[in-house]
Chains A and B, each alone.
Chain A
Amino acid sequence: MRLFGWGRKKQDAQSAEPSPAKASASELESRVQDGAGQDAGKDAGKDAGQTEASPAEQTEARKDERPQSSGDQQEATAAPAKKTGDKPRASWAQRLRQGLAKSSSRLGAGLTGLFSGGRIDDDALEELEDQLIMGDLGVEPAAKIVAELRRQRFGQEASDQEFRQALASIIADMLEPVAYALDIKNQHRPHILLVTGVNGAGKTTTIGKLASQFQAQGAKVMLAAADTYRAAAVGQLQIWAERASVPIVTGAERADPAAVAYQAVERARAEGVDVLIVDTAGRLHNKADLMAELQKIVRVIKKLDDSAPHDTLLVLDATTGQNAINQVKTFKELIDVSGLIVTKLDGTARGGVVVGLADRFGLPIHAIGVGEAMEDLSPFDPQAFAKALVDLEE
């Protein structure tokens, strides 16, 4: 399992307001934190404060320090407009869990209803398949999971708990191979991240979150506002840049987005920026002209750096159903997407489509969005995700 190079603020769990989420939320949090420790070396991201240190030298302790500075950073630069920051916030894990609990309580309830211990039979499995479909897993992946459970457990006696455990571990196994941290190496300066996706998926917000996390790790970050189309899109990214206190490159209204990207790369080079994140306008994958525009952005960036973009991220909204498959397929074909970020997992949508996507495309899932605030971006943890999905208490 690989997690983000950057860590999470542990204090979150303590400062959390009393919430309807079950007590186990903070346990989940600490479990995830432990998980982060296991592979910390492998996954350590850029830490400009220690640019000479090889990733392998980074220790869990340092991972715990970094979030600390993230807190300072936020205080120093807290945007005046940000009202939501005032109230104590639940930790991401709590919120993910709240969301998933709300949604998975249906799955959970479904499971409880069909199986309260006993023999795993045809009826139980059929019902289970339905429940998975209701989580947006899609007909095929649901069938695949059920077939696997059948193979492992058919006719066996099992408790409800064991049943869920088996289910969660099948799902986690499917997700495990795609859980990769965003690995920002020192090789490229600037490391160029191109962020793409359909309209309203959460690109700009995710960029704001990423910027602040990279920045908190000491990386020198710059943003490029290449969404020159949507009304006030530049203004939106500008506010995020302020919040994260990173510089931003903008173009004239309705400017050619490729030109903005080009300028940004030039400036990022001149200023010795470590990570340049390029925002783009939302576009539906079936619009050939808009996809061509995106390809042009890539081409133009390549003129300055042949190896760029070093990461091409596709941002997916977790409420999206089976159309996510078309989205990934087309974006991957046309601009060679290198990884996914799934947003809005704090809602009632369970994001089960992720399981189908992993199965089908094997693209890395780098992170998940669990809220609208700066800190609401989390590593994708297959175990936690799968367990939460089947409402498995620990």
Chain B
Amino acid sequence: MFEGLGNRLTGIFDGLRGRGALSEEDVKKAMREIRVALLEADVALPVAKAFIDRVREKAVGQEVIRSISPGQMVVKIVSDELVRMLGSEASELKLMGEPPLVYLMVGLQGAGKTTTTGKLGKRLKERDRKKVLMASLDTRRPAAQEQLAVLGQQTGVDTLPIVPDETPVAITKRAQTVARMQGYDVLILDTAGRLSIDLELMQEVRSVRAVCKPVETLLVVDAMTGQDAVQTGKAFHEALDLTGIVLTRIDGDARGGAALSMREVTGCPIKLIGEGEGMDALDVFHPERIANRILGMGDVVSLVEKAAEHFEEEEAEKIAKRLQKGKFDLNDLASQLKQMQNMGGMGALMKMLPGGAKMQAAMKGANIDDNHIKRQLAIISSMTPAERSKPELMKASRKQRVANGSGTSVQDVNKLLKQFNDAAKMMKRMKKMGKKGGGGGFPGMGGGMPPGFGGPGGGMPPMGGGGFPGLGGR
């Protein structure tokens, strides 16, 4: 596996600790590492070069803040610049104008256009309360139109009835007529995948564009794309005057350098990301997250936000209040564990943390996995309400009963209780520090793993491979 930039840079700067400013020689060394990191992350070479030039200028002579190492300082400069280039704020889809507004989805074969069309339809319908019609202009790929129809059924979004042997332009016109007559707010047009060098097909989609005059022309791009991002981005932008990029399969483990390449080459904002095959797996783009990913520093911000999102509001508030009163019992722990499960389990969480891979390995060794969570929940649910709110009641005979009830051993019960005690202690400490958990009050997220996961080996390995300052805060 590729090493994250954080580790690389901390490595070369180890000897430099305590110096005042970054010298030209230091920076040169760092730039070599950054170049490799960017290329390994699939940032296109010309884009990487331009980026490095800009960063070099900023880095030379930069004062190193006392609290961090020169390596961390460079990582911060790089990361800030990356975020700036990726687009500092989220860019919204255009929803104003005379209906029906047309969205045109374009891209290479298999990029995720149809799936994204389905997701987008659902999102616009449910979140933005729009009346949405979807139509597939893909007359090439076998069963492509049926695919969109099925997605429409799944999401309850209308699709244009399929008429065999119609040309894409004819379908477009029919879709617009239907959308106009039946009062749709938005019409999303899914198109066939095409190569940028396929002149005939590029001409076809231009004709479609000329007919439907879209407010959004979105290029759907696979996050795993390599150096070809430049070529494809450029060609599609030149032909179609794109308004935005959708980056799919961000749920994979690609570093996603294509995001930067696309952004640079087209100048278009990345408007949405696809993070799974399900119809809800669509999100707005967060530049910091991709920046961290490109640099291999883990997705701390995402983790914190995801945790916050999934943590049902009331639940969070309830726990926050109880914490303020210094109360934390097994009910709270159980509800945290459940949230962990909802978020996709330990694996999904770990993946997003810096040094996550290492931690995952350590967890495997210590036998902490999603089954572990299940077992812990089983133990808690075998307790009486009184025991759950007053864990100190748990004496020997009760332990045996609970172990039997949950199909575990007394030893397991003891372990859980010990973890609970550690967690409760940590809660108190955090309360003293005045720190609330990430966003919606997921205790422990800011400072480390949620408590209760110390596991048999006791304690997680320390986090923060790159040790990027100030990441947890935003």
> Is B252 a contact partner of A284 (Cβ separation < 8 A)?
yes
A-B contact pairs, 30 of them (CB 8 A): A81-B164, A99-B197, A134-B227, A199-B249, A200-B111, A208-B142, A231-B146, A235-B143, A236-B142, A236-B143, A236-B144, A238-B143, A319-B224, A319-B228, A320-B224, A321-B224, A321-B225, A321-B227, A322-B2, A322-B42, A322-B255, A324-B224, A326-B254, A344-B110, A344-B195, A346-B195, A348-B228, A348-B232, A350-B227, A353-B226
Taken together as a complex, chains A and B put the C-alpha atoms of A134 and B45 apart, in Å, by 6
Residue of A whose beta carbon sits closest to that of B113: A200
B44 on the A face (CB < 8 A): yes
**6 closest A-B pairs by CB:** A321-B226, A200-B110, A321-B42, A239-B142, A235-B143, A231-B150
Taken together as a complex, chains A and B put the C-alpha atoms of A323 and B142 apart, in Å, by 28
Q: How far is the CB of A359 from chain B (nearest CB, A)?
A: 15
Q: Taking A134-B45, A200-B110, A230-B277 as contacts, is the C-beta distance between A372 and B140 under 8 angstroms?
A: yes
Q: Which residues of A contact B197 (CB under 8 A)?
A: 98-99, 102, 347-348
> Is B110 a contact partner of A202 (Cβ separation < 8 A)?
yes
Q: How far is the CB of A200 from chain B (nearest CB, A)?
A: 3
Q: How far is the CB of B282 from chain A (nearest CB, A)?
A: 15
Known pairs A232-B144, A347-B195 / 9 extra A-B pairs, C-beta < 8 Å = A133-B39, A231-B150, A235-B143, A285-B252, A317-B224, A319-B222, A320-B225, A346-B195, A372-B109
A154 on the B face (CB < 8 A): no
Q: Taking A321-B254, A348-B228 as contacts, is the C-beta distance between A139 and B143 under 8 angstroms?
A: no
Q: Which residues of A contact B144 (CB under 8 A)?
A: 232, 236
Q: Which residues of B contact A322 (CB under 8 A)?
A: 2, 40-42, 226, 254-255
Per the 8 Å Cβ criterion, residues 84-102 of B in contact with A are none
Q: Which residues of B contact A347 (CB under 8 A)?
A: 108, 195-197, 228, 232
Interface 1/0 per residue, B16-36 and A, CB below 8 Å: 000000000000000000001
Residue of B whose beta carbon sits closest to that of A240: B142
Residue of A whose beta carbon sits closest to that of B231: A348
Residue of A whose beta carbon sits closest to that of B347: A288
> Is A103 a contact partner of B277 (Cβ separation < 8 A)?
no
B141 on the A face (CB < 8 A): yes
Residue of B whose beta carbon sits closest to that of A323: B254
A174 on the B face (CB < 8 A): no
B112 on the A face (CB < 8 A): yes
Per the 8 Å Cβ criterion, residues 218-267 of A in contact with B are 229-233, 235-236, 238-240
A349 on the B face (CB < 8 A): yes
Per the 8 Å Cβ criterion, residues 30-75 of B in contact with A are 36, 39-42, 44-46
Taken together as a complex, chains A and B put the C-alpha atoms of A134 and B2 apart, in Å, by 18
A183 on the B face (CB < 8 A): no
A198 on the B face (CB < 8 A): yes
> Is B143 a contact partner of A239 (Cβ separation < 8 A)?
yes
B411 on the A face (CB < 8 A): no
Q: Taking A198-B252, A321-B226, A323-B254 as contacts, is the C-beta distance between A235 and B142 under 8 angstroms?
A: yes
Per the 8 Å Cβ criterion, residues 172-202 of B in contact with A are 195-197
B317 on the A face (CB < 8 A): no
Q: How far is the CB of A74 from chain B (nearest CB, A)?
A: 15
Taken together as a complex, chains A and B put the C-alpha atoms of A302 and B140 apart, in Å, by 36
Taken together as a complex, chains A and B put the C-alpha atoms of A136 and B227 apart, in Å, by 6
Q: Taking A83-B140, A319-B108 as contacts, is the C-beta distance between A284 and B249 under 8 angstroms?
A: yes
Q: Which of A98, A135, A198, A240 is close to B227, meaning CB atoms less than 8 Å apart?
A: A135
B339 on the A face (CB < 8 A): no
Q: Taking A139-B36, A199-B277 as contacts, is the C-beta distance between A232 and B146 under 8 angstroms?
A: yes
A201 on the B face (CB < 8 A): yes
Taken together as a complex, chains A and B put the C-alpha atoms of A229 and B115 apart, in Å, by 13
B151 on the A face (CB < 8 A): yes
Taken together as a complex, chains A and B put the C-alpha atoms of A100 and B301 apart, in Å, by 40
Q: Which residues of B contact A152 (CB under 8 A)?
A: none
Per the 8 Å Cβ criterion, residues 157-200 of A in contact with B are 198-200
> Is B227 a contact partner of A323 (Cβ separation < 8 A)?
no
Taken together as a complex, chains A and B put the C-alpha atoms of A81 and B112 apart, in Å, by 22
Which of A134, A200, A321 has the most CB atoms of chain B within a 10 A radius of its CB?
A321
A305 on the B face (CB < 8 A): no
Q: How far is the CB of B417 from chain A (nearest CB, A)?
A: 30
B residues in contact (CB < 8 Å) with A: 1-2, 36, 39-42, 44-46, 108-112, 114, 118, 139-144, 146-151, 154, 164, 195-197, 222, 224-228, 231-232, 235, 249, 251-255, 257-258, 277, 347, 351
> Is A319 a contact partner of B139 (Cβ separation < 8 A)?
no
Interface 1/0 per residue, A276-293 and B, CB below 8 Å: 000000001111100000
> Is A372 a contact partner of B249 (Cβ separation < 8 A)?
no
Contacts across chains A and B counted by CB atoms under 8 Å: 158
Q: Which residues of A contact B45 (CB under 8 A)?
A: 130, 133-134
Q: How far is the CB of B313 from chain A (nearest CB, A)?
A: 28
> Is B351 a contact partner of A372 (Cβ separation < 8 A)?
no
Taken together as a complex, chains A and B put the C-alpha atoms of A81 and B291 apart, in Å, by 44
Residue of A whose beta carbon sits closest to that of B149: A232
Q: Which of A81, A139, A208, A286 is close to B253, meaning CB atoms less than 8 Å apart?
A: A286
Q: How far is the CB of B252 from chain A (nearest CB, A)?
A: 4
Q: Which residues of A contact B227 (CB under 8 A)?
A: 133-136, 321, 349-350, 352
Q: How far is the CB of A207 from chain B (nearest CB, A)?
A: 12
Residue of B whose beta carbon sits closest to that of A234: B143
Q: Taking A239-B142, A239-B143 as contacts, is the C-beta distance between A321 and B110 under 8 angstroms?
A: no
Q: Which of A83, A229, A323 is close to B252, meaning CB atoms less than 8 Å apart?
A: A323
Q: Which residues of B contact A230 (CB under 8 A)?
A: 147, 277
Q: How far is the CB of B306 from chain A (nearest CB, A)?
A: 16
Q: How far is the CB of B388 from chain A (nearest CB, A)?
A: 30
Per the 8 Å Cβ criterion, residues 102-142 of A in contact with B are 102-103, 106, 130, 133-136, 138-139
Q: Which residues of A contact B235 (CB under 8 A)?
A: 348
Q: Which residues of B contact A346 (CB under 8 A)?
A: 195
> Is A83 a contact partner of B139 (Cβ separation < 8 A)?
yes
Taken together as a complex, chains A and B put the C-alpha atoms of A349 and B233 apart, in Å, by 12
> Is A326 a contact partner of B228 (Cβ separation < 8 A)?
no
Residue of B whose beta carbon sits closest to that of A318: B228
Taken together as a complex, chains A and B put the C-alpha atoms of A136 and B196 apart, in Å, by 18
Taken together as a complex, chains A and B put the C-alpha atoms of A349 and B347 apart, in Å, by 33
Q: Which residues of A contact B36 (CB under 8 A)?
A: 139
Q: How far is the CB of A71 from chain B (nearest CB, A)?
A: 21
Residue of B whose beta carbon sits closest to that of A99: B197
Q: Which residues of A contact B255 (CB under 8 A)?
A: 322-323
Q: Which residues of A contact B222 (CB under 8 A)?
A: 200, 317, 319-320
Q: How far is the CB of A299 from chain B (nearest CB, A)?
A: 20
Q: How far is the CB of A372 from chain B (nearest CB, A)?
A: 7
Residue of B whose beta carbon sits closest to that of A106: B231
Taken together as a complex, chains A and B put the C-alpha atoms of A81 and B277 apart, in Å, by 27
Taken together as a complex, chains A and B put the C-alpha atoms of A154 and B232 apart, in Å, by 35
Taken together as a complex, chains A and B put the C-alpha atoms of A347 and B40 apart, in Å, by 22
Which of A81, A230, A231, A324 has the most CB atoms of chain B within a 10 A radius of its CB?
A231
Q: Taking A348-B196, A348-B231 as contacts, is the C-beta distance between A323 and B143 under 8 angstroms?
A: no
Q: Which residues of B contact A240 (CB under 8 A)?
A: 142
Q: Which residues of B contact A284 (CB under 8 A)?
A: 249, 251-253
Q: Which residues of B contact A138 (CB under 8 A)?
A: 40
Taken together as a complex, chains A and B put the C-alpha atoms of A319 and B347 apart, in Å, by 28
Q: How far is the CB of A99 from chain B (nearest CB, A)?
A: 7
Taken together as a complex, chains A and B put the C-alpha atoms of A253 and B309 apart, in Å, by 32
Q: Which residues of A contact B151 (CB under 8 A)?
A: 231
Taken together as a complex, chains A and B put the C-alpha atoms of A349 and B142 apart, in Å, by 24
Q: Which residues of B contact A198 (CB under 8 A)?
A: 224, 249, 252
